[in-house]
Structure 1
Amino acid sequence: MRSLILFLQQVNIEQKIKNAPNSEYQIGVLIGSFVPFIVLAIIAYLLYYRAKKKEQNLKN
Structure 2
Amino acid sequence: MYLITVLQQTDIEKKMQEAPNSAYEIGVVIGSYLPFVVLVGIAYAIYYYQKKRKDSE
Q: What's the TM-score, normalizing by structure 1?
A: 0.88
Higher relative contact order, structure no. (Cα contacts within 8 Å, ≥ 6 residues apart): 2
CA distance in 1, matches of 2:15, 2:26: 11
Gaps of 5+ in 1: none
Q: 1:57: Cα distance to partner? A: 1.6
Gaps of 5+ in 2: none
- Corresponding residue number in structure 1 for 2:20: 21
- Corresponding residue number in structure 2 for 1:10: 9
CA distance in 2, matches of 1:27, 1:46: 27
- Corresponding residue number in structure 2 for 1:34: 33
AA at the equivalent of 2:3:
L
The DSSP-based 3-state class of the residue aligned with 1:36 is: helix
Q: What's the TM-score, normalizing by structure 2?
A: 0.92
Q: 1:43: Cα distance to partner? A: 0.7
CA distance in 1, matches of 2:8, 2:52: 36
Runs of 4+ in 1 over 3 A off after TM superposition: none
Q: What value does the CA root-mean-square deviation take over the aligned residues?
A: 0.8
Structure with higher Rg: it is: 1
Query: Percentage identity across aligned positions?
Result: 53
Q: 1:22: Cα distance to partner? A: 1.0
